[in-house]
Amino acid sequence: MKTTLLKTGLLSTVLMTGFAFAQETATTTMRDYLAPEKTTRNIFEDPKIEAPEYDGVQISVGGDFALQFQSLDHSTKAVLGKDYELNTMGADFNLPTANLDINAYLAKGLKMHLRTYLSARHHNEAWVKGGYIQIDNLDFISKGLLSDLMKNARIKIGMDELNYGDAHFRRTDNAEAINNPFVENNIMDAFSTQAFGEIYYFRDGFMGMIGVSNGKLNQTATKGTNENKPSIYAKVGYDKQINSDLRVRLTGSIIKTNGLNTNGKLYSDDRAGSRYYYVLLVTNNANSALSDAMGTSNPSTGRFDPNFKEMTAFQFNPFIKYKGLEFFGTFEHASGNKLLNATTKRDSDGSYNQFAGELLYRFGGKEQFYIGGKYNSVSGKDYDGALERKIDRFNFAGGWYMTKNVLAKVEYVNQKYNQSDVWNVYDANKDQKSALSGGKFNGIVFEATIGF
C-alpha cells in the first residue's frame, strides 16, 4: 500500500508543477539583475556588475511554490511513560508553501527586495518575512558621487536575513526551494532576519563584508530584562571561475552576538518551519487537547538549536565545481552561554560543532539532472560537565530541472540522535515529553518547486 502511495505521490507532485522538456539558459535582463537567485544556480552574493541605466521605476513580481509528498517512519528508545506515544506517521502530502517577491529598481544601482510568506508550516496565514535596499551606485544622490569607490563597493540595509556563512544561500526559504538540491536545510540552520546594515567590497574575485544588526527578530523600542546589544558579523572570501570547467569559492564568516535578551536565536529564527514534518513528536492519549497534529507549535522538527546567549559562531564554506561535479561544505563552531533562566548565566559556556558536506553530479545537455549525497552531523555540550548531544543525518537525492524555474526532486533521509539523558526533557506547561533520546527517522520525501 505504501509503495502505491509513493508512486501516486511522485506522479501527482510532478503533474502539479507543469511539464517542460529542457533546462533554459539564463538571460541578462532587468529581472535577472533584480532577482538573480531565481535565474542561475550557485549564486551566492549578488554579482557586482555595472548597474543598468535608470529610466523610471521598474518592478518585477516573482514567487515560489513548493509541495512535498512525505513518507517517513520514526522510532525512539526514550521511555515515554503512560499515556504518551509517538505520532503515527503515514504517507501523504504536506501543506503547500508559497512566497511572493516584489523587486523594484528605484534609481540607478538602487534596488529593493521584499518577500512575503503566503503560506508556511508555522504560519498558515500570509505575513512579511522581510526586505532590504541594495545600493551599488550613488548617482541618485549626486552624479558621479564616489564613483571610483562604488565600482567595487556595495551597501545593503534592511530587515532581512543576515549574510552569515554561505549555507543560507543554498537553504530552503519557506517555498524557495529551487536552489536547494535536497529537501531540508542543515541541522543547525544558521538563519536570522534582523534589522541590519552591511558594507561590501569586491575586487578580482575577493570579497569582504562587515555588518551590524540590532539582534532582534521582533522589533520594539522598549527595553527587556537586560540592555539590548548589537551583533557584529563579517565575511571574507574568494570566488573565481578558473576556467570554463572549474570554479572555486572559499569563504569564512564570524558573528558575535551580545546581550541576554537579544541575539540568542541565530539557529531558531526561521519562522517558516522545517521540511521533515511531525517527526519524533509525542502525543498525550489521555488529553487530546495537548496533541499537535499539524505540528505548528513544533515547526522545527529535525533541527537543533543550541540556544546560546552571548554567542560567538564562525562558519567556513568551500565550494568547488568541476564540470558536472560539485562539492559544497560547511564547518561551523558555535559557543556561548546556556542560561539557567532568563537573567542568570551558567558558570561555564558550552559549544557545538557542525559538519556538512554535499557532493553532487549534474548531468544532461544543460545539467538539468543531478544525483548526490549529503552528510550532516552536530555534536557538543551545553556547558562544562554536561552530557554530549550528537545528531547524524544522511541524505541521498536526485532532481530534474524541467525548466530553469521548475524542479522536481526525491530524497531519502536517515537521521539519528544519540541515546542519552540529555534529551530527556519534560515541559510541564505543555505536558510534553521528548522522544529524541535514541530517536531516529528515515524515509523518502518527494518535492516539487517553482521559482520565478
Q: Annotate 419-442 with DSSP letters as a single string.
A: --GGG--EETTTTEE---TT-EEE
The dihedrals phi and psi of 199, each to the nearest 5 degrees, come to -120, 130
Residue with the larger pLDDT of the pair 246 and 49: 246
From the list 281, 284, 291, the residue with the least C-alpha distance to 83 is: 284
Q: Which cell numbers in the block locate residue 28?
A: 541578462
C-alpha 118: how far from chain center: 17
Q: DSSP string covering 108-169, please?
A: TTEEEEEEEEEE-SS-SS-EEEEEEEEES--TTTSTTTTHHHHTTEEEEEEEEE---SSHHH
Question: Considering the domain 2-451, what is its CATH architecture?
Answer: Beta Barrel (2.40)
Task: Give the three-class secondary structure for 32.
Answer: helix
Spatial CB neighbours of 339, under 8 Å, sequence gap ≥ 6: 260, 309, 345, 346
pLDDT at 429: 60
Q: What mean pLDDT do residues 406-428 have?
A: 91
Nearest C-alpha neighbor of 236 from the set 169, 161, 316:
316
Instruction: For residue 356, give the nearest of 167, 207, 223 by alpha carbon.
Output: 167
Tell me which DSSP letter residue 244 carries: S
**Alpha carbons 147 and 151: distance in angstroms, whole number:** 6
Asked if residue 125 has pLDDT above 90, the reply is no
Q: Which three cell numbers stand for residue 259?
A: 546581550
Confidence band (pLDDT; 50, 70, 90) for 7? very low
Mean of all residue pLDDT scores within the chain: 88
pLDDT of residue 4 exceeding 70 = no
Q: What is the mean pLDDT of residues 444-451?
A: 97
Written as one letter, the residue type at 109 is: G
Q: Which residues lie across from 176 on neighbouring strands?
A: 173
Torsion from C-alpha of 101, 215, 315, 424, nearest 10 degrees: -100
pLDDT digits (tens, 9 = 90+) for 74-110: 999 998 878 888 989 999 999 899 999 999 999 999 9
Where along the chain do its domains lie? 2-451
Beta bridge partners of 350: 336
The DSSP symbol for 96 reads: P
pLDDT classification of 291: cutoffs 50, 70, 90:
low
**pLDDT at residue 283 in the model:** 84
- Tell me if 113 sits within 8 A of 38, measured CB to CB: no
Give the pLDDT band of residue 259 (cuts 50, 70, 90): confident
User: In the prediction, which pLDDT does 292 show?
Assistant: 55
Over the stretch 50-83, which tens digit does the pLDDT of each residue have? Answer: 888 899 999 999 999 999 999 999 999 998 878 8
Segment 136-153, tens digit of pLDDT: 999 999 999 999 999 999
Q: How far apart are CA 289 and CA 282, in angstroms?
A: 13
142/107 Cα distance (integer angstroms): 12
* CA nearest neighbour of 155 among 182, 133, 140, 173: 133
> In terms of pLDDT, which residue wins out, 222 or 165?
165
Report the range of poorest mean pLDDT among 9-18, 120-129, 236-245, 271-280.
9-18
The three three-digit cell numbers of residue 32, written as one number: 535577472
Q: Please choose, from the candidates 406, 444, 451, the residue with its C-alpha nearest in 3D space to the C-alpha of residue 68.
A: 444
* Separation between Cα atoms, residue 3 and residue 207, nearest integer Å: 49
Instruction: List the grid coordinates of 212.
Output: 551590524
